[in-house]
Structure 1
Amino acid sequence: MHEFPPGLTWFNVEKPLKMIDLIGKVVLIDFWTYSCINCIRMIPFLKYWYDTYNKYGFEIVGIHAPEFGFEKDSLNVENAIKNYDIPYPVVLDNNHRLWTVYDNRYWPAHYLHDAIGKLRYTHFGEGEYEKTEQMIRKLLEEKGVRIEEPMIPIKVPVDFTKIGSSETYLGYGRMVGFASPEELKHNTPQYYSIPPEIKKNRVYFEGMWKVDIDKSTLEKPEGKIAYRYSANKINLVMGSNHPVKALVLIDGEKLQIGNKGDDIDENGYLNIQEYKLYNLINTHNYYEVHTCKIIFFDAGIEVFAFTFG
């Protein structure tokens, strides 16, 4: 296990942790970032393991390593920790110092250490929940702990075999599938349009947008984004420095109770108040092809990536 550099911001601890504080415990290092859908889906499993095994000498340290600039804001991270009700220690790795030391490449990523600090198991991404829990129990038993609770089968929250769309970034640095007919311009406001035919797994802008390396910003009101996707859920990582109102449509129709996402209000509108992942559409385990269109009524919205579930 690697030492934590001094000067980092910590949450859920009385004082910054040091490696010596964790010797004698089985420790899971969890690399995550708060707007990552894969990380968000892991949080219930991490909380369950922490609640079940912490009393036996198991600890989790969440290393929050930002992907986007807004994730470096400690207040944003603190709010996310509260919203997800995360009980274990979290440290901000804004300059990816720990990320580099661990030679990490993924969100989420798990590094499981035994009671003497030796790395015994790694897993990258979602999945292998039972295997990870078995390793936690094995390492606890190695240090003489008798675990009373049986393992409880964990229901996987999403069927990855049925998702036909992949994460789509909206900054030119990693953008794939941009399909508005106008030429994509970097770092310069440009008017884009949505053609009559919208193809699957392509993203379209309409209105005056400025496309930067890791995001796109609406420069004037009444901008739109369209995406034809194949999944149960569609999410959009976005935010603004001031409130922005948007209307989300599915196949040209307003959302209803049976398909509106968690962040859509009772009238089918989206009120964007902070930088985070917003769930736009949820068809409740019906993995289907739909067209999502978002109409932003206010300028200043910054969009980063579509993700799916």
Structure 2
Amino acid sequence: MVDRLRAPELRGRRWLNTGGEELSLVGLRGRIVVLDFWTFCCVNCLHVLDELRPLEQEFADSLVIIGVHSPKFEHEGRPEAVEAAVERYAVHHPVLDDPDLVTWDAYTARAWPTLVVIDPEGYIVGQMSGEGHGPGIASLVRELIGEHSARGTLRQGDSPYVPPSSDSTQFRFPGKAVPLGDGGFVVSDTAHHQIVLLESDLRTERARFGGPEVFEEPQGVCVLPSDAAERLGYDLLVADTVNHRIASIRLSDGRIRTEAGTGEQLRERSGGGAAHKQPLSSPWDIVWWLDRAVIEMAGTHQLWALHLATEPENNTVAVLAGTSAEGLRDGAADEAWLAQPSGLAVSASGDRVWIVDSETSALRSIVVDDNGFRLETHIGEGLFDFGFVDGVRSQARMQHPLGVAEAADGTVLVADTYNGAIRRFDPVTQVLSTALTGLSEPSDVLPLDDGLIVVESSAHRVDRMRLPATAAAEGGAGRVRRSATQIAPGAVELVVHFEPPAGQKLDDRYGDPTMLMVSSTPDSLIRSGGGRATGLARALDLDSSVGDGVLHISVRAAACDASGPDGEVPEHAACHLYQQDWGIPVRLEAGADAVLDLHLRGV
């Protein structure tokens, strides 16, 4: 007999999307509840929002989905920022604003996203981390509906969701802006799901392309060089982020065509080959470099290269940089780590591409030399370090930047999004300074001879601005407020729990269908047990002299539909990939637990 665990009550600062009503698990008794612990900086959390939408429709009278917004960055704890994110990402269920991580801690969440399933009697029946759990949750909900209908403990009814009001503006959460060669500009009007051509006044519209039936939350836009445009027969490339594709637009007639991606999200975190057969994962920005399109694949923490042919079926893609591990590690491009790269800019000399790595609050670049492509970090320390500080690299801090551009004088401008600022980095002196403050989530910046164009995403506008005579950073250094996990030094057992959904099983016909990759920051934290290997458990030896650090853990498990007469996996069964990355801050303490339990999926 397994003891059932009563779900802790939901406590936070306030409720959104409920019309002012406060919800409680007691009041929801009789309904199936799914808690989605998310934070709006996290691309994996945004993927899960999309995975949950079909469940909201299918089980509308039995299931209540509640978002628990537990912030990573300081900015994400601000009330107005949470409200904007709920609208920006079309969250159509109640959201508990949990800025102090009270409910996060009550449920011992360790990763964004974490999902918890609560049955109609108020007991936890499932907990899982990462993406890809939509079908499994749907299967569990069906089981719970059948069980509790039979027992008379299921209470059906309308959702407690109450939609908020929204203003009408020319742009809605615009993402990126790029110049046309004739003085006009192209803007991704992200929440309107359109690409807009503007005159030089930034108000008069020449044309709009797309709409919800064509694009979904487009971000980066690339204007092709004239010779490439003539050869290829179109003018723009668009990172169609939520549709997981790269599209092209021909301005002469408005034709929109897919150049890369299948419309499905990439789960394998690797790939290459024919672009039309290769799934992508949240492409966020795109530039033209070395006769190819370079794509920030935010969903897999990588850069990809897209080689374009005159016939789209001959387009090819390949990973350019990043192993898919989330973090900050320089060096050879195929060994480096990135963390949700979200802005690109080609240097004037063409010898490098500037990158803003949003989850490490970093400014980085990729260069090519005789030894191939390599990544360098200019500002940034790691996944949990951020702030608003000017100075040299060891001092300077940013907070989740999303845009970057190189100015005529060779300095690099950064849209320091969560600090509401434009920062300036001097590659010669290696010093970061502040150029402009008081902005509303700037997501891109373009330098002009007499000032800047800034995309103020949460202010729903694209404006020219002049730089003040002086400006300064307005805060200090900070770290993510998430509590460090205390763990024993020396021998530690890492165990990732995974229970396939009903009707699925781990398929070991061709070997172990799991993969566990473990590393740390600093590297010296792990004396042995790091690296990549099959299996869901690992013996680690942690160096007591290090004290504090971060464990980086990536896991994958493949489960297939077991539909044979004896529950075996048939030859051509449908298979499903479950995966998650954890960056877990740890503190080594004598006497602490020597087992680290993580849940990829547990019931």
Q: Shared fold by TM > 0.5?
A: yes
The alpha carbon displacement at 1:22 in A equals: 1.0
Check if 1:139 corresponds to 2:144.
yes
**C-alpha distance in 2 between matches for 1:193 and 1:12:** 40
| Identity percentage of aligned residues | 22
Once the two structures are TM-superposed, the CA of residue 92 in structure 1 deviates from its matched residue by: 1.2
CA–CA separation in structure 2 for the residues paired with 1:196 and 1:299: 34
2: distance between equivalents of 1:121 and 1:210?
Answer: 37
In structure 1, stretches of 5+ residues that fail to align are: 148-154, 171-175, 179-191, 226-235, 247-262, 276-297, 305-309
Q: Is the 8 A contact 1:211 1:217 kept in 2?
A: no
Q: 1:223 aligns with which of 412, 421, 424?
A: 412
Matches within 5 A, 1:188-199: 197=369
Contact 2:365 2:376 in 1 (8 A): no
Distance 1:203 1:38, change over 3 A: farther
Tell whether 2:110 aligns with 1:105.
Answer: yes
Structure 1 residue 204: deviation in Å? 2.2
Residue aligning to 1:77: 82
CA distance in 1, matches of 2:37, 2:366: 38
Q: Which structure has more helix as a fraction of its residues?
A: 1
Relative CO higher for 1 or 2, CA cutoff 8 Å, sep ≥ 6?
A: 1
Instruction: Flag the 1:79–1:274 CA change in 2: closer, same or farther, 3 A.
Output: same
Cα pair 2:44 2:113 within 8 Å, conserved: yes
What number of residue pairs does the alignment pair up? 225
1:42 aligns with 2:48: yes
Q: Which residue of 1 aligns with 2:29?
A: 23
C-alpha distance in 2 between matches for 1:193 and 1:121: 42
The CA distance in 1 between the partners of 2:137 and 2:267, in whole Å, is 19
Aligned pair 1:126/2:234, yes or no? no
1:40 and 1:8 map into 2 onto residues whose CA distance is 22
Counterpart Cα distance in 1 of 2:416 and 2:53: 23
Amino acid corresponding to residue 412 of structure 2 in structure 1: G
Q: Secondary structure at the match of 1:54?
A: coil
Q: CA 1:274–1:125 in 2, change beyond 3 Å: closer, same or farther?
A: same
For the Cα contact (< 8 Å) 1:62–1:90, is it kept in 2?
yes
Larger strand proportion of the pair: 2
State the alpha-carbon separation in 2 of the partners of residues 35 and 127 from structure 1. Answer: 19
Displacement of 1:243 = 6.0
Per-residue Cα deviation, 1:126-179 (whole angstroms, up to 9, x for no partner): 12331121011211222227x9xxxxxxx8512333153332359xxxxx969x
Deviation at 1:200, TM superposition (A): 6.0
Q: Distance between the aligned counterparts of 1:224 and 1:166, measured in 2?
A: 27
Q: Output the TM-score relative to the length of structure 1.
A: 0.59
Whether contact under 8 Å (2:328, 2:381) holds in the other structure is no
- Tell me which amino acid in the other structure corresponds to 1:273: E
Query: Cα deviations across residues 241-281 of structure 1 (Å, max 9, x unaligned)?
Result: 246799xxxxxxxxxxxxxxxx7799xx9945258xxxxxx
Residue 3 of structure 1: aligned partner: 9
> Is residue 167 from structure 1 mapped to residue 338 from structure 2 by the alignment?
no
Greater CA deviation, 43-52 or 72-81?
43-52
The aligned residue for residue 204 of structure 1 is 377
Kept in 2: contact 1:12–1:89 (CA 8 A)? yes
Q: Could you say if the C-alpha distance between residues 271 and 224 of structure 1 is closer, same or farther in structure 2, counting changes exceeding 3 Å?
A: closer
Q: String of CA shifts for 1:93-151, please: whole Å, max 9, x gaps.
A: 11111111111101111110111011111111112331121011211222227x9xxxx
Alpha-carbon offset, residue 46 of structure 1: 1.3
* 1:152 counterpart residue number: none
Computed over aligned residues only, the root mean square deviation of the Cα atoms, in angstroms, reads 4.4
- 1:23 alignment partner AA: R
Q: Would you identify which runs of 4 or more consecutive aligned residues in structure 1 move more than 3 Å?
A: 192-203, 209-213, 216-221, 236-240, 242-246, 263-266, 269-272, 298-302
Q: Give the conservation status (yes or no) of the 8 Å contact 1:12–1:87.
A: yes
**What is aligned with 1:12?**
17
Q: Aligned residue for 2:60?
A: 54
Structure 2: gaps spanning 5 or more residues: 1-6, 157-262, 271-299, 301-322, 330-335, 339-363, 392-406, 426-442, 447-451, 459-470, 480-603
1:87 counterpart = 2:92: yes
Aligned residue for 1:157, secondary structure, equals coil
Q: 1:241 aligns with which of 420, 430, 438?
A: 420
Tell me whether 1:32 sits opposite 2:38 in the alignment: yes
8 Å contact 1:28–1:60 — kept in the other structure?
Answer: yes
CA distance in 2, matches of 1:68, 1:201: 28
CA distance in structure 2 between the aligned counterparts of 1:138 and 1:204, rounded to whole angstroms: 49
What TM-score, normalized by structure 2, do the two folds share? 0.32
